[in-house]
Structure 1
Amino acid sequence: MKTLFLCSYFAEVASLFKTFADQHQLEKKVLFIPTAGNVEGYTAYIDEARAVFADLQFEVEVLDIAEEARENVVREKMLQTPCLYISGGNTFYLLQELKKKNLLPLIRERIHQGMVYLGESAGAIITSKDIFYNHIMDDKRLASDLTEYSALSVVDFSVLPHWKEFPFEKSSQQTAAAYDGQLKLLKLTNQQAVLVTGHTTVTENVQ
């Protein structure tokens, strides 16, 4: 059964994640993928996410899939981890690096085997069928080797993160205007998370 925790801003929904972790009795070990931040100027949210895991006494193993040249090492770590966290950053660059190591089929398989998937912003967007809709918010030119945009396709919706949140007020609303009629957009503010358990999807808000 698939179990996912998807959000715009992990540090802002730390209280929701704590409840989620307790309810699902998560094994406190996570493989932490910060790769999407490699091409971003601002990455404080990555350190903030690590701090959330540390506060909850998770054992965190950081793995930048762009820097680790050995595909077998990356695959072995993904096979072993009970929880996979993928950070925010540039969604197109993230997808490019996942495709370079042919990791999408493995992640999809592990999710269906019971690995818990935790995705923040870009990490949430790639759970959809295709990420092209995010080209208004993210610069796809930062992924010069990416030629098509099919993603994990483990949910039947497309996360639109940072809904009306600074500095994405304009780009999030432009994305909604362009794709609301074509896609099942799930708009998330920075204080919301969507929890997927099997075929059940619930959006929760920080109180």
Structure 2
Amino acid sequence: MHILLLSRFIGAVPGFLDSIGLTSRTSTRIAYVDDASKPLGSLPFVEEERRQLQQLGYSVVPVTVGNGTAEDFTSTLESVDAVYVAGGMADYLMATLRRVGADTVLSERVRAGLPYMGASAGAMVTGRSIEPAIALDGHTEGIMLEDFSGLNLVDLVIVPHADGLLPLTHLNLSPP
């Protein structure tokens, strides 16, 4: 699997994509999944990542998973070279992926070789659990997950932005 996990900022993206053979920026198509940012409205960072990818010369394909079906998402992922899952609220992102059935689609495509880049919430959902997101950010209004498990693409619990402020002993995370 080819996975790049980011806290914020896209500086590592060109080197990551170059290292896996996607060296032509103009012909590299990246599905940009923006669902995690939906509860945040128009905060400045929400569009910044997408703009930065475009400024680097990549062809960005906007995707809001929650507006479609698993079949739509499958079709989109089959037409791109990589996927970038943007930051925002991890619980909202995970709930949306599950509701549509896109969690399975995304996991299968990444395990089959589709390069995955995720920032903040997009990084967090790749791990075993998103429970730290709830401890850091609280629940998104209207979202109450009963299952905090992530996509299990990496055998870790990803905690971006915590800066040592989140004692993992307070979380109910058991080893795999």
TM class, shorter-length: 0.7 to 0.9
What aligned pairs does 1:21-100 form with structure 2 within 5 A after superposition?
21-26=17-22, 28-41=28-41, 43-66=43-66, 68-100=67-99
Q: Which residue of 2 aligns with 1:102?
A: 101
In structure 2, what is the Cα distance between the partners aligned to 1:160 and 1:178?
14
Contact 2:131 2:171 in 1 (8 A): no
Contact 1:34 1:88 in 2 (8 A): yes
Report deviation, 1:158.
1.2
The TM-score, its normalising length taken from structure 2, stands at 0.85
What amino acid sits opposite 2:77 in the alignment? Answer: M
Q: Structure 1's 34 and 83: CA in aligned 2 closer, same or farther, altered over 3 A? A: same
Q: Which residue of 1 aligns with 2:16?
A: 20
Q: Which residue of 2 aligns with 1:173?
A: 165
The TM-score, its normalising length taken from structure 1, stands at 0.74
Structure 1 runs, 4 residues or longer, greater than 4 Å off: 179-184
Report deviation, 1:20.
1.6
Aligned residue for 1:156, secondary structure, equals coil
What aligned pairs does 1:92-171 form with structure 2 within 5 A after superposition?
92-144=91-143, 146-164=145-163
Query: Where in structure 2 are there 5+ consecutive unaligned residues?
Result: none
In structure 2, what is the Cα distance between the partners aligned to 1:86 and 1:57?
18
Post-superposition Cα deviations, 1:135-190, rounded to whole Å, max 9, x if no partner, equal 111222435353312221010111110132xxxxxxx5134452498569xxxxxx
Contact 1:93 1:143 in 2 (8 A): no
In structure 2, what is the Cα distance between the partners aligned to 1:5 and 1:80?
20
Q: Structure 1's 72 and 181: CA in aligned 2 closer, same or farther, altered over 3 A? A: closer
